[in-house]
Amino acid sequence: MAQFGRTVSTRFRTENNAPYLRGLRGRVPPATHGSFNIQVFCHKTTGCLGWRSSLPISYFAPVLATTHAEILNDAYVKWLSRRNESVLVLGGGTWWFPYHGCLVPASLKPQPVELTEAEAAKLLEESGALLLRYFSRISDEPTAFWYVACERYDFDGVSHNTRSKIRRAYKRCTVERVDATWLAKEGYGCYSAAFDRYRGARPTSKTIFQRGLLDSVGGPFEFWAVFAGAELAGYAKCVLGDDYVATVVIKLAPEYLPLYSAYGLWDTILKQYVNMEARPVFNGFRALAHDTNVQDFLRKFGFQKVYCDLKIVYRKKLGLCVRVLYPFKLIASLIPDSLGGAGVRAMLAQEEIRRSFLRQNTSPV
């Protein structure tokens, strides 16, 4: 197994994976009931998985086949696994990806995750992440956390005002697919201008912007651009899953917003993916890092909030810092961004959301 570059150890718990255990060839020895260890090897170049255990593979080959298919059937996760710089960690039947020091589910299709405390601690130890964030349940009642999704788009069903603005957008703007290479060359001005509308966020350098786009070449991505004449007025980066689409970047130059550029861009995206390809479009979770009204705006197009809980597991030292700072969150809000204030505010905001579920009398279902 020397050709495999990354090794992850996980514990496959039989009590949590009963559906996978049906159809096992042979009988798992009594000593393995409850749990058994599996090592996962991820090839640096191909992303292919290898497995190793102290038990003969014949005991749970169907388990691994089913689990492998469910875990790596996401095109975005496959793409991440093929990137040499990516470090994916397997735990609780889910691939996890480190993002800005936080471990999050690698798939961009929101799905509940169940983790034990021991599994969460092991994921943090193996990944080196400072915290782990996920949701475990959907709620029928409004909660302090959510993601947004559009499963049905009906132009005739949106408000008269929205239809009017969409029509005006197409009179003044055009929307086209573009490739990542073109956007890397032509898009930085639009990208940096979009940050004029944000509080607590700054654009990256042009070099980093271009590198991120060029790294997307060959991946499960599509890019859409809205033009005002020959000028780039905005763009979107979409991740294409087999049964979903996630919009991961939307940037709109403020000077062209009066032309209703955002209306034309979103109408095109939803007609393409929801109506023509029958795939739901997700726009991520509630924003914490900076102020944005994007998700409220998207409700004009039929996006719905899907309410859920928020689970956060901290490393011990970070958890202690959060507990110490939390009673002083109003004072912490005065810390300037130059001294890390934006990060502190986001951390305490998500902690407040996490605690809201501890106070609820009724649990999400």
Could you say which of 231, 249, 279 is where a domain stops?
A: 279
187 and 105 co-located in one domain: no
pLDDT over threshold 60, residue 195: yes
pLDDT per residue as tens digits for the range 84-117: 555 788 888 899 999 888 999 999 999 999 999 9
pLDDT per residue as tens digits for the range 217-232: 999 999 999 999 999 9
pLDDT per residue as tens digits for the range 311-353: 999 999 999 999 999 898 888 777 777 777 778 888 899 999 9
Question: For residue 262, what are the contacts with CB-CB under 8 A and spacing of at least 6?
Answer: 169, 226, 234, 252, 297
308-333 residues labelled b (16+ CB within 10 A) or e (exposed):
bbbbbbbbeeeeeebeeeeeeeeeee
Q: Is residue 202 part of a domain?
A: yes
Q: Give which of 220, 224, 217, 221 is closest to 177, Cα–Cα.
A: 224
25 and 69 co-located in one domain: yes
Q: Give which of 280, 287, 359, 296 is closest to 111, Cα–Cα.
A: 280
Q: Is residue 296 part of a domain?
A: no
Tokens of 299: 């409700």
Q: Where are the beta strands (DSSP E) in 83-140?
A: 89-91, 94-99, 102-105, 131-134
Query: 352 has which bridge partners?
Result: none
pLDDT over threshold 60, residue 156: yes
CB atoms within 10 A of CB 205: 10
Q: Is residue 214 part of a domain?
A: yes
Which helix (DSSP H) or strand (DSSP E) does residue 264 occupy?
helix 261-270
122 and 156 co-located in one domain: no
111 and 207 co-located in one domain: no
pLDDT over threshold 60, residue 178: yes
Confidence of residue 58 (pLDDT cuts 50, 70, 90): very low
Q: Give which of 245, 262, 112, 246 is closest to 172, Cα–Cα.
A: 262
158 and 272 co-located in one domain: yes
pLDDT over threshold 60, residue 21: no
Average pLDDT of the residues of the chain: 81
Lowest mean pLDDT among 142-151, 294-303, 330-339, 355-364: 355-364
pLDDT over threshold 50, residue 177: yes
pLDDT at site 292:
62
Lowest mean pLDDT among 82-86, 139-143, 180-184: 82-86
The single-letter DSSP state of residue 138 is: B
Domain boundaries, position 24? 6-134
Instruction: Give the pTM.
Output: 0.77
159 and 212 co-located in one domain: yes
